[in-house]
Structure 1
Amino acid sequence: MSLNWTRRASAAKAMAVTKALADRRASDVAPILAEIQAEGITTIAGIARALTERGIPAPRGGGWRRETVLSALRRTH
């Protein structure tokens, strides 16, 4: 087995774990996203602001950004 093959296999495993964690996190916040949208907040920036104001931590901590909200919405729809 070559070192490059081992590195590629390790990288593939790491990517699979990262994807699974992101999918789980998105499913955890899906009900909150739906609630915010039901309140009439439908813009991505508005949803990010609402999540941050509610104290919901972003996946990597801190406040929510548009890109993070878009990623969560894509994973849940």
Structure 2
Amino acid sequence: MPYESEKPNLAPSAEDLRARIPGWGADLPPEHRRTWQQRENLEPTGAHWSFPDRQPDDPRRERSIEHAMLTPV
């Protein structure tokens, strides 16, 4: 493509992408998501979770400085 003084419009618009690609824009605000439903007064599901046992701390092991502890086993 030869150089031209005006920049060509290479990117399709958001509306074109939404119409052409199913699920495009899933990270948009909730009112634009097809699968999002606002729910109020959810009933308890009975799910429960306890923190798993931690890995033993070994000074020879490298770990990420971004995390305060090793991940659970």
Give the TM-score, by structure 2 length: 0.24
TM (norm. structure 1) is 0.23
Higher-RCO chain (CA-CA 8 Å, sequence separation at least 6): 1
Which structure: greater helix fraction? Answer: 1
